[in-house]
Every structure is written in structure tokens, then in C-alpha cells.
A and B are shown apart, each in its own frame.
Chain A
Amino acid sequence: MRGLFFAWLLVSATAHSDTLDWPAQPPQQGQFEQHKHIKVLAQPFVSQGLYSYNRQSGIVWRTQQPIENTLIINAQGVFETQQDGSKTLLTANTRMSELLLVLFSGDEQLLQMHFDLKKTVNHYLLQPIDAKLRKLFAKITITFDNNLISQISLYEPNGNYTDIFLGERAATEPKVNAP
């Protein structure tokens, strides 16, 4: 009987993609902290910086620690800003670009096209449908805080994972012009 009760709890807490209730993400900016837990690394790699998102210009990902580096992720791809201000397109990153944009956009149609989604109380479990994406990520979890994404965890098939913490929404957006 207790087993049945737990099963009911599990089912009721898990919603399939047809009842998806992904909070639409408004334009936002803030700080991030990224922890890369990679087995071959002697210690986790931690980076910090500022990010911003809006639907038109995409994501600006400005790392401040341990090094200054800016990425612009939008529908045109992933661009790396060089020291001279020029931007280089990183073609090997297209899947990641698509993925992050889909997560931030909250576009339900796109989300359902790319992922098999399961919702629990305040976070979502995403499992890639596309075989190519599945080679890169076994699963992704997204945690919301006040309807804004507060944590993204990317799990690779080889056991490595990356935690990205978003928080302390700053007033100032990282100043980078999108291409």
C-alpha cells in the first residue's frame, strides 16, 4: 500500500511534455558561476562572470574569472569576441548554441522538438531526442527560482557534468554588441 502511495506521488509529480508549463523567460541579466566537473581534471574548473539574455540578441556570456572572455550565442551561432574586438564564429558549437537558446527562450514547441521533458516541482529534466545531441548530453536539469532559471546542469554521457548557477540579477547588462 505504501509502495502504491509513493508511486502515485511520483506520477503526480511528473508531468509529461503535453502538460509542459515552462516559464517564459523575460529579458534578463545577472551573474553566473560555472562548475565543470570533469573526471580527467585534477580539480573542478570554476569560472564566473556576467550574462544577459533577450530574444533578439540572444545570450551574451562574459567570463570575468579566471580570464576575460566573451561569447555571444544567438540564432546565427556562437561567436567568440577576440582581443581586437572582432568576432569569430565557432562552428563546432552549433548544438550548444541551439540548446542554450532553446532553454532561455522557453519556446515550448522548440523544447518539445529537441527534448523529452519531465517536470517535477521546481525543476525540469530534459533528455535529448536528437541522436547527435544525445552524444553530447545524456540529460539536462533546469531549476527555476521565481520563474527564472537559477541552475542548469549538463550531464555528458561519459559522466562529466557542468553546473551553471545563475543569480543576483544585475542591473547592468554585459556591454557587447551582437553581430
Chain B
Amino acid sequence: MNDTGQSTVAPAALVIGGGIAGIQASLDIADAGFRVYLVEREPSIGGRMAQLDKTFPTLDCSSCILTPRTVDVDRHPGIELMTYSEVMGVEAEGDGFKVAVKKKPRYVDVTKCTGCGLCAEACRMHGRVDSEFDEGIAKRSPIYVPFPQAVPLKYTIDPNTCLYLTRGRCGKEFLCQNACPADAIDFEQTEEIVELEVGAVVVATGFDPFDPTKKPEFGYAQYDNVITALEFERLASASGPTAGKIVLGEREINDVVFIQCVGSRDKQVGNPYCSRVCCMYTAKQAHLVHEKLPDAFVTVLYMDIRAFGKGFEEFYDRVREEGAFYRRGNPSEIIRQGDQLIVRAEDTLLGQPVEIPADLVVLAVGMEPRRDCQSMAEMLDIPEDGFFREAHPKMEPVGTGTEGIYLAGTCQGPMDIPDTVAHAKAAAAAAMIRLARARAKTK
């Protein structure tokens, strides 16, 4: 409050992160009539949910239910979408916050770019950079959109792989510039710091998937046909790099083994917690294998099955009825015999060690805090316990202890999509209460 007794809180919110949590929180806050600055560090919003094929237990197509929301964000007059931007500082000022946002140079004028993609096709490095969105299964150009439904549908030049930006030269002339009919390519762009004033902050920075090279016994780094669940999602997706076919090179896939709890419930890797989503996404993936490869033999190696949500146990029943063999035992290692992978485990119900042949092994990697969670916590001055820590585990699930800063989604802990959406709506409600109170005072 200032000395006239009026609130100094700007009727606006900052939302950090443009995954489903940030999208939902932004839409709710903006729908309530407050201004929203949605900051996303990647070139597009959409987050992890955009990468997924189907969702459990209803088998809704993930991008089909997500895309209407991303489009709504783009069109919403109350939301200022700042993609390819990073929050550099959040300072409490009066009752609100002063925020510094770095807009990274895209080297593409977004007011001119029509998203036609001719630049990417023309680029000398076309098809030679691993696509992050496709988990490295497909390739992209250094000038790219992460995926066809990207919002905004504007191209970005990746400074780490563009020949000109890394080496200072790219042939005699810029092929992207020549190809662009809109004259949108601009190598002169520089980063820009934007200052914002907001009354509330919603942190929706998401999670990182567990890095399976930390469990070297599974040979993820050695064997091409040991993949993560996210890679499987890209293989299964009809709009993915294999058009939905489960294929890995020339190999015919007959035996598929899923391994649960990779990097979850595991003190050896410092993740004692359950990631909450892997049991069900694995059940869904087992279903997808049967749908796409009806003759495949699917084995799911598990310790316990946690099917606790609405419709979850029923879905688990269905997947087993389809023929997925749930075998109790946490496998210890994967080795190669000839050109066949062998998963070694104890079937604890038989009480016998077993060697299970596999053409494809899918690791159900768990959720981890973002690598930069700690520095983010310091910048925002909020507590963390690996993930960001809620103010009270029961009564304050979105608060942080710092007035005006709220948590949404998996930055607070592992959650599935429905829980994330609910959590994000709760964070939005908390932010709106604060903004509405401030507005009432100014009237």
C-alpha cells in the first residue's frame, strides 16, 4: 500500500512455464479479467503434454485435448505470451513484484514470419539436429518450430547449432534468408530485457524426466532398443517421427519388456519418492503395443502397481485382459546375448531368477525436479525440498510461504495431468483472490 492507502499491486499475474499447468492457470486468471504474462523459455508452449500420444485411462489423444487450450492462450486478449523468454529476476516491491524477463533473440522477426517452413528446408543443416520434441528420434534444422502445432507458429534459430551463429559463417550466403518469402530472418536481433509489474506469480516450471544413464545396469547408453517412456510416446504418436509405428531400425519387434520405477522409489539415485504416473502410463503403453503389434508378447516388470485414480484400476484390468503379462520383480540388469537383449530379474512370485528376451525395452522413467529448481527457488525466495515446497502439505497445497507466489503442477511434486490441471486451477484461484483484493482496495 502507498501512503494514500491505495494498493500498489498491479492487476496482473506472471505465470512461469507454458506447460499444461501454466496454460490452465493463465487462462483462468485472464478469464477473471486480470492481465497475464505467460513466460516460456522454449520457442513454443505445450510442454510435456504436447509430446504424449494418448492419455490414461481414457485414451484421449493428448495433443487433441491440449491444442484447443494452446490456441486459446494465443488468442486471449488478456494474455501476453512471451515464448523463448526467461524470468531473470523477481523482486518484491510494495505488495507486488517487479519482474525482469529476458527475451532471447529468435533471429526471426515474429511479426513477419508466417510459419511456412521454407527456411528450415533450405538450411544447410536441415535434418541434422536432434529434435528435442521427438526425444532425438527425429531430426530438425537449426531454424525450427519444435512441432507442427507450436504456439506461436514462428520459427526460431537455435544459436547452438546454426552454422552462422556458432562459427561466424555459413557459406557465401544465408540459404534461410534467401528462402524466406517474408524477409523475416534477422541475424541482427539481440536479447532484450523487459520489466513487468505484477501482483502475483504462478510458478509452473514442470519436471525433468529421470536420466536413465544414472542406472547404468539397464544399458540405456549402450543399446538402441532400450528406450525411455517419452521416446515410446513419440514412436506411438500418429504425428510422430514413425507415424505411430513401433519400429526401431530393421528389427522385428516381438517381445516388449516394460520396466517400472526407473529412477523412482530408489534411494540409490536420491529419488525415494513414487513418481505417481509411471504405473498408469506404462499400462497405457502396454495397451498401445497390443493395439499396434497384436502378436507382440508384452511383459511388465513391476514392484507394486499403484492404480489409485478414477478409472485407473479398471484400466489396469483391461490391459491385463488384453494380454499384458504383469510379472513381479524389479529387474537388475540388461545384457546382450548375440543380437538379443536379455532382461535379468527375479520373478519374486516364482522365487526364481529369470532371463527374459526382449526386442524392445521401455524404461518407465520417473519425474525429477527441474535441474535449475534450486537457483529458481533462490531467485523467487521460496522453499524447496527437491521440488518446490508447498506452504502446508494439506492446507496450503499451492502456497509457498511467500505471499503472492503460488505453485502449479509438477514443479511441486509428481502429478498426472488431471491433478496438474486441478492444482493449476487452485493456484490461479489463489492468485486471483490476491489480485481481486487489491483491485477492491483501489476502487
Q: Does chain A bind chain B? A: no
